[in-house]
Structure 1
Amino acid sequence: MYVFIDESGDPGFKVERGSSPIFVTSMVIFDTAEDANQATKEISALRGRLRVKPEFKFNKSHRAVRDAFFEGVSDLPFRTRYVVVQKNLIYSDALRTVKDSFYKFFVRNMMQHDGGALVRAKVVIDGSGDRQFKRAFRSYLRKHIDADCVRKVDLKDSVKDPLVQLADMTAGAIARSYRQDRADSNRWRSALYRAGKIENVWEFR
């Protein structure tokens, strides 16, 4: 099993100064290496056809690119799970003030509350931070996640991994669905739903 994780939004709580009101973590799941390899090839080819450089990023993509992306991945063999955090419901001082704690906590919770989805999974998480953070993050997950669920955790720069880009795009689609100020808010979440790709959306309370 192969799992790819990314997020939409930021860990900041100064929403009135530009922090995102919503934070979403996305987990994209492939049952086999063959399924993951197929998706890697298809998404790389799609990026070439759409002339997207250097990578797919939901928040940097035009509407037409988003439409083409979600149509292009609709038949690929994956499923997704999410945690949605509405920041106005978070009162923990640690989560509100320590960015690393916020990020680690919700990635961990998504992996722990997996509904039995993770079985000896190799997990790849978007991570372009410094070596010390990566080492600490892997140690944190090993401490909290059952070894029967996760056998290995890697952190990779999304530019180098099309499947982390898939996690970014799906996280962005779910996050956009909470934007009541956008007429197209549910457009790409609905595309994922119609394709049967959404296994669970957990709204954290």
Structure 2
Amino acid sequence: MNPHIYIDWSGDPGFRFRRGSSDLLLVAAVSTEENEIDLSSLREELALPADYEFHFAKTSAAIRKKFQQFVFSKLDFSRAIVLRVDKRLLPQEYRKMSGEQILAEFIVHCIKDIPDNLLQNAILLYDGKREQKSFRNVLRKTISDMLKPAVYLRDVKAMPASQNDGLQTADMLAGLVRTQSQMTSRVKLKIVRYPR
């Protein structure tokens, strides 16, 4: 099997702060060497249905706490990076970019911190609809422009987070870092602030 990278985000790439755009954009990347992420044992432990979706905005504080404990004590993954972008501090050039371009650029900034052995030949999955080809194309081009030339990703594709535990893990980590200002980097988790 190939390494997998699961990408999800919290917040939006917009700059209309007075009209509801978020101050922060958090991009989470969770990487595994060979295995896919499986949250079924956590669902069983919490007596949740087998198809329960861990979506930060929809989960209770109690489930969030249990999820956080499970991720750092029992879940098998190699590395997680959460990029915490304070959009109010970004240079003006970002305001001229499309939302897709901004999001793609920060996804690449996030995965740049993943070790090469977990990037090389990896399958990158992000939360989205398969039929939204426009963003996938922008993301692929941005990856090719910004990553080291020697790094090759086997595939870049969208998948609804409701169908993938790795994407749900990325969603929950992005939400946890957003809401817990005291959360710090750990052995398996690196939190990167942008701009630095």
TM > 0.5 between the two?
Answer: yes
Q: Distance in 2 between matches of 1:19 and 1:46?
A: 36
Instruction: State whether residues 43 and 162 of structure 1, in contact with CA within 8 Å, keep that contact through their aligned partners in structure 2.
Output: no
Distance 1:7 1:133, change over 3 A: same
Q: CA RMSD in A?
A: 2.7
Which of 27, 30, 42 aligns to 1:28? It is: 30
Instruction: State whether residues 136 and 157 of structure 2, in contact with CA within 8 Å, keep that contact through their aligned partners in structure 1.
Output: no
Matched, 1:128 2:119: no
Q: Distance in 1 between matches of 2:136 and 2:169?
A: 24
1:182 aligned residue: none
Instruction: State whether residues 46 and 72 of structure 1, in contact with CA within 8 Å, keep that contact through their aligned partners in structure 2.
Output: no
Distance 1:31 1:86, change over 3 A: same
1:14 aligned residue: 16
As a proportion of its length, which structure holds more helix? 1
Q: Which runs of 5+ in 2 are unaligned?
A: none
1:128 to partner: Cα distance: 2.2
2:83 aligned residue: 83
Instruction: Please give the per-residue CA displacement for 1:137-182, whole angstroms capped at 9, x wherever unaligned.
Output: 353245234463422212111111111000000011111134xxxx
TM-score (norm 1): 0.77
Instruction: State whether residues 50 and 65 of structure 1, in contact with CA within 8 Å, keep that contact through their aligned partners in structure 2.
Output: no
1:42 aligned residue: 41
1:183 aligned residue: none
Distance 1:27 1:14, change over 3 A: same
1:172 aligned residue: 175
Distance 1:90 1:30, change over 3 A: same
1:154 aligned residue: 157
Q: How many residues align?
A: 188
Q: Distance in 2 between matches of 1:84 and 1:149?
A: 25
Distance 1:134 1:89, change over 3 A: closer
The ranges of structure 1 where at least 4 consecutive aligned residues each deviate by more than 6 angstroms after the TM superposition are none
**Structure 2 counterpart of 1:66, one-letter code:** R
Percentage of pairs with the same residue: 24
1:96 to partner: Cα distance: 5.5
Q: Distance in 2 between matches of 1:104 and 1:168?
A: 16
1:75 to partner: Cα distance: 1.0
**Structure 2 counterpart of 1:13, one-letter code:** F
TM-score (norm 2): 0.81
**Structure 1 counterpart of 2:99, one-letter code:** K
